[in-house]
Amino acid sequence: MLWDNLIVATKFFIEIAVELTVLFIGIIFLVGLIQEYVPEETIKKALGGQNKVIGSVLGAGFGALTPFCSCSTVPLLLGMLKAGVSFAATMAFLFSSPLLNPVIISMFIILMGWKIAALYFTVTFVSTIVIGLLLDRLGFSSQIKSVTVVRNICDCEQEINAKSRIQRSAVFAFSLFRQLVPYLLIGAGIGAFIHGFVPTEIISRLAGQDNPLAVPVAAIIGVPIYIRAETMIPIGLALIEKGMSVGAVLALIIGGAGASIPEITLLSSIFKKNLLAAFVMTVFSIAVVAGYLANMLTL
């Protein structure tokens, strides 16, 4: 019995790890090409030159193209604020960046199907725009602390031909992949263990469709945990196969990827306490709404 479980777990680990490795490198390379042809400074100027609604849509879209964890978004957020980008657009970027990127969406499509991927993208993307505009309308822009930004200036000229851009995109892809691969392997390993050894009835009873509190509890658990969506999705797949509701898994992924104690600590140097509290509650709310909608979709 133990040997059979080990074989099942090992097979799951190998399949998921190989599949996600190919996906990561390919998608991150494409993101690198996009960033080569659409530089960050150009995006900042575009965001700063639009009205708040259009700026928020573009901010959420920019966030969706940046394959960074929640903590990595904070320096970019600060740079956008200092560049004159509207508060609504920067908030939309802050919420969307760790939750929406081509890698995460592709993982959802491959591992959980296009319906769940579409629901996740739609709810998260629309919510980030609406929340950004709402926080701006409620005057939370006054909750930004005064912070000095020190910029690095490089006098060297970089080649901008197609070959050099492809080379830099490839370097970017493999460099970022080396940073992500531990999270990928950890997620695949935990998922494989759950898939092979955790009894189905335990997860089904605690976090299945029949437990109406499974979604908010999963969101609460996810918020203080520092976990990337790329790590959590393979784990979530195993949990779903063991009986956990899709909604609870989505709530856990959004809560864990959208906010974390390290990120909240970083944001406390930029945000005053009211905006910080609004940030945490927003992530929690998005997680709960997406979770319940996912359960309704999969009934």
Residue-level pLDDT at 146: 64
163-215 pLDDT, tens digit each: 787 888 788 777 767 766 776 677 667 757 766 666 556 555 665 667 788 88
Residue-level pLDDT at 129: 93
48 in a structural domain:
yes
128 in a structural domain:
yes
Residue-level pLDDT at 134: 93
Residue 295's CB is within 10 A of a number of other CB atoms, namely 20
152 in a structural domain:
no
CA 33 to chain centre: 20
151 in a structural domain:
no
Phi-psi region of 211 (alpha: psi -120 to 50; beta: other; left: phi over 0): beta
67-121 pLDDT, tens digit each: 555 555 666 676 677 667 788 888 898 888 877 877 778 777 877 788 888 888 9
Give the number of residues written for the chain.
299
- CA atoms within 13 A of residue 167's CA, in its CB half-sphere: 7
63 in a structural domain:
yes
What is the torsional sign of CA 136, 139, 140, 145? positive
Domain extent at residue 205: 2-145+163-297
Residue-level pLDDT at 125: 92
User: What average pLDDT does the segment 53-67 reach?
Assistant: 81
Q: Is the pLDDT confidence value at 6 over 70?
A: yes
End-to-end C-alpha distance for the chain, whole angstroms: 33
287 in a structural domain:
yes
Residue-level pLDDT at 102: 74
Residue-level pLDDT at 150: 43
Q: In sequence order, what are the beta bridge partners of 144?
A: 271
Domain count, the chain: 1
Q: Is the pLDDT confidence value at 151 over 50?
A: no
Residue-level pLDDT at 153: 40
Residue-level pLDDT at 119: 87
Higher pLDDT, 71 or 59: 59
Confidence of residue 155 (pLDDT cuts 50, 70, 90): very low
User: What average pLDDT does the segment 278-295 reach?
Assistant: 88
153 in a structural domain:
no
Q: Is the pLDDT confidence value at 158 over 60?
A: no
User: What average pLDDT does the segment 47-73 reach?
Assistant: 73
Q: Is the pLDDT confidence value at 138 over 80?
A: yes
Cα distance between residue 87 and residue 222, in whole Å: 26
230-277 pLDDT, tens digit each: 667 777 777 787 788 888 888 888 887 777 666 677 677 778 889 889
User: What average pLDDT does the segment 116-142 reach?
Assistant: 90
Q: Is the pLDDT confidence value at 12 over 90?
A: no
